[in-house]
Structure 1
Amino acid sequence: MKKIILHVDMDAFFASVEQVDNKSLRGKPVIVGGVSERGVVSTCSYEARKYGVSSAMPAFIARQKCPTGIFLPVRHNRYKEVSEKIFKIFREVTPLIEPLSIDEAYLDLSESTFKTGEEAAKYIKTRVYRELGLTLSIGISYNKFLAKLASDWNKPNGIKIIDENMLPDILFPLPIRRIHGLGKKACEKLNNMGIFKVEDLYKMDKEFFIKYLGKYGIEIYERIRGIDKREVKVSRDRKSVGKEKTLKSNTNNIDELKEYLIEFAKKINEILDKTDKSGRTITLKYKTGEFQNHTRSKTLSKYIKSFEDIYEVGCELLEETPIEEEIRLIGLSISSFREEKEVQLKLF
């Protein structure tokens, strides 16, 4: 029997919460984040999207596109509070939940009392709207790839089912960028070969995928044929902990940048202490004034978690990086975790 997988995605989550909390904002172009000129948009309402505003867009561009936009600061604690209530409703539907973010998740109905995906989807949508005043979009299929594709199909506030008998025809008209696993560079490479739609890609043999798409080629080959072997993972470990900041003014002054690293290292250490984790890969991230992203990483032979150690490695990476252009954003993160509790158990 085929599994029933739901992909649930809140509609313009941060902006929608703001519109629910403040009724005067309803029907208006609300833009969350980017309050300062050098800020970045976190998300925006559908009214703002009509002007071409989108997530991760620099604030000054968003203001140019949408002069009447209402810019609001991000309220993480409020969004987290609402998210917890939504996920509580998910848990009434099934225990098999894979959170992807604060406003997105996969649900596997294998252990659910709901017999159909549509029945479960309508229950979730009704409860969330009645109790929180928010809408969401849900995709239903027999694997994660198709469920995610379905949830994007008729946003906002939609339900879409993709059955096996709809394939591959339903995929053929789609641009290849809609295929999970195909990044920007891979799409550009394929476009240069005259491959723009899934139908174009579907005609290629398996060897083509291996030759031009590398180790993930077979997964892409299977995916456009409706095959996705990924399971819904109930517990998703946090892969990294980091902090970043858009600077008030561009700079390449090393001493000034180190001040931000001190702040980041302290906050990262606090999170690691709370979660009993340590890591051994430190990554420095920065964005130039021309919006070019760069990263530099260092993997240590030992695990670290203290503020001093994280800061020291961050400084080493900064000093080793030839930052010739002034930068507008800097960040620091740690990954490759080991949980302290696991290590203690192994000692006995």
Structure 2
Amino acid sequence: MCRTVYRPTAPGRGPGGSVPYGLPMRATASVLHVDLDAFFAAVEQRDKPSLRGRPVVVGGTGRRGVVSTASYEARHYGVRSAMPAWQARAQLPGGAAFLSGRFDAYRRSSRAALGVLRELSSVVEQVSIDEAYADLAPDWPVDGWSRADAEALAERLRAGVRGATGGLTASVGVGSSKMMAKMASEASKPDGLRVIWPGEEAAFLADLPMRALPGVGPATTEKLRTFGAVTVADLRRMALPDLVSILGEASGHGVHDLARGIDRREVTTHREAKSVSAEETFHQDLTDVREVTAELGLLARRVAARLEKAGLFGRTVGVKLRRHDFSTHLRSTTLAHGTDRAELITEQAVRLALGIGVGDGVRLLGVSVSGFVEHSQELMPLDLGPGVTSGSQESHTADVSSETDAAVGWDDEESHAARLGRVAWPTGADVVHAEHGAGWVWGSGLGRVTVRFEGPTTGPGPIRTFEADDPALRRSDPPAWAP
């Protein structure tokens, strides 16, 4: 097989080093983007036969929960990601399923799907649990192939994903850049493929609204709309000096390029984590400082466990606090040395949160660690006086407001149960019963838990209700999707 390797020249940089102007554009459709369709909801429908063909919403299931993913059946009713769960419930008909997240199940399916992609390309950039790019140039004869060749490879990937994941579907796009490959996959959703051949970029983009371009948000759109720009074609008619004058040097050049389908970013195999965080939205506002302190400790322990697993140490501890009125407050402090210790993270998080104040109630708390370093060289704590710690060097403050609660709140039910000393039975969780076998939590409350006994390789199964403390019932690992 012919092997063609794409090796771009060293990139030039725009003002401030932020915009690459010097990388050449590819002359071949050799960048692939794959996106697993309605991923979380699709995994739930695969593993729960009784939910197939029904509206399914995955995310926080409590009163303050937020939609993470909605199945296409739910999207038909206008349900979308980041929508408050109460609004989704109001829009959906009876029979819709609202489920807590099962990250173990999602991770397993993601690994299976990405394994298929890595068999086709040696250069894969995973950007999220359900989305990735691949550079095809190092492994395929892209200089000499046709549109049919690119389509055949995309279809091979889609078929491989279906087989490896027990029937999950993927949308695949191929283009001359990451931007065009992603927009091609978006245009083929759900369960499709599209190839945008070099030279077709301008025609594909022309009639799309400006917001379709990556990085063109509401503020930029509003600025450009005052100058008569609505579509991408309108943008292309604007001169570069005018765009720079309106948006600034870096953004002006960036929008000018994107409107022409120019994206010089490379597919990279390594993406550095910028932060590790955990947050939770509460069923009821927290008004007691002791409750806030306890929750911050739980969040800090989760963050510390993730840092330890990843072998990371961070210098910057951050807190996110959302009040009852949806105002959101962010605080951070930078330590003298990196840490992964839950005790120190808790200490700093509590200090930052109390500096904000509990006020009339807290609906969301979050803890994060960033500023990663290779080693932890913490100093022994010194008594430097009230409110002063030996590890703290500097603090930073930012206040923002939000109209909607963007936190998914995956652990709402489990954390609430833990606070009450109960077994957690979140809706949708995998369980096994000593007599009846494997199933999932249909619902729980009033000291009982209802289970539907079915799995990915069965038909819809029976429903039975048990006492919540039934010793024969326990949580289990996700089911295998292959017989």
Pair in the same fold by TM > 0.5: yes
Q: Does 1:202 align with 2:236?
A: yes
In angstroms, what is the RMSD of aligned CA positions?
2.1
CA apart distance, 1:324? 4.4
The match for 1:89 is: 116
The match for 1:55 is: 81
The match for 1:126 is: 159
Give the whole-Å Cα distance in 2 for the aligned partners of 1:240 and 1:120. 35
Q: Aligned runs of 1:1-348 on 2, under 5 Å?
A: 1-2=27-28, 4-68=30-94, 69-113=96-140, 115=142, 116-131=149-164, 132-214=166-248, 215-321=250-356, 324=359, 326-340=361-375
Give the whole-Å Cα distance in 2 for the aligned partners of 1:302 and 1:208. 46
SS of 2:291's partner is: helix
Give the whole-Å Cα distance in 2 for the aligned partners of 1:271 and 1:339. 16
CA apart distance, 1:247? 0.7
- Go from structure 1 to structure 2 and tell me whether the alpha carbon gap of 1:107 and 1:265 turns closer, same or farther (over 3 Å shift): same
SS of 1:170's partner is: helix
Cα pair 2:205 2:261 within 8 Å, conserved: no
- Go from structure 1 to structure 2 and tell me whether the alpha carbon gap of 1:81 and 1:199 turns closer, same or farther (over 3 Å shift): same
SS of 1:266's partner is: helix
Give the whole-Å Cα distance in 2 for the aligned partners of 1:152 and 1:325. 43
Cα pair 2:318 2:367 within 8 Å, conserved: yes
Q: Deviations over 1:51-109 (max 9, x none)?
A: 11111211111101113221112111011111111111111100100001111000110
CA apart distance, 1:327? 3.2
- Go from structure 1 to structure 2 and tell me whether the alpha carbon gap of 1:337 and 1:47 turns closer, same or farther (over 3 Å shift): same
4+ runs of 1 displaced by more than 6 Å?
A: none
SS of 2:202's partner is: coil
Cα pair 1:94 1:108 within 8 Å, conserved: yes
- Go from structure 1 to structure 2 and tell me whether the alpha carbon gap of 1:204 and 1:302 turns closer, same or farther (over 3 Å shift): farther
- Go from structure 1 to structure 2 and tell me whether the alpha carbon gap of 1:290 and 1:139 turns closer, same or farther (over 3 Å shift): farther
Amino acid at match of 1:43: T
SS of 1:299's partner is: strand
Q: Deviations over 1:99-120 (max 9, x none)?
A: 0111100011012247543222
CA apart distance, 1:292? 4.6
Amino acid at match of 1:200: D
- Go from structure 1 to structure 2 and tell me whether the alpha carbon gap of 1:294 and 1:176 turns closer, same or farther (over 3 Å shift): farther
Give the whole-Å Cα distance in 2 for the aligned partners of 1:306 and 1:80. 26
SS of 1:274's partner is: helix
More helix by percentage? 1
CA apart distance, 1:193? 3.9
CA apart distance, 1:290? 4.7
> TM-score, normalising length from structure 2?
0.67
Identity of aligned residues (%): 39
Cα pair 1:138 1:151 within 8 Å, conserved: yes
Q: Deviations over 1:129-182 (max 9, x none)?
A: 234201111111010111111111131011112223223232121111111122
Amino acid at match of 2:272: D
Cα pair 2:338 2:375 within 8 Å, conserved: no
Give the whole-Å Cα distance in 2 for the aligned partners of 1:296 and 1:185. 25
Cα pair 2:286 2:362 within 8 Å, conserved: yes
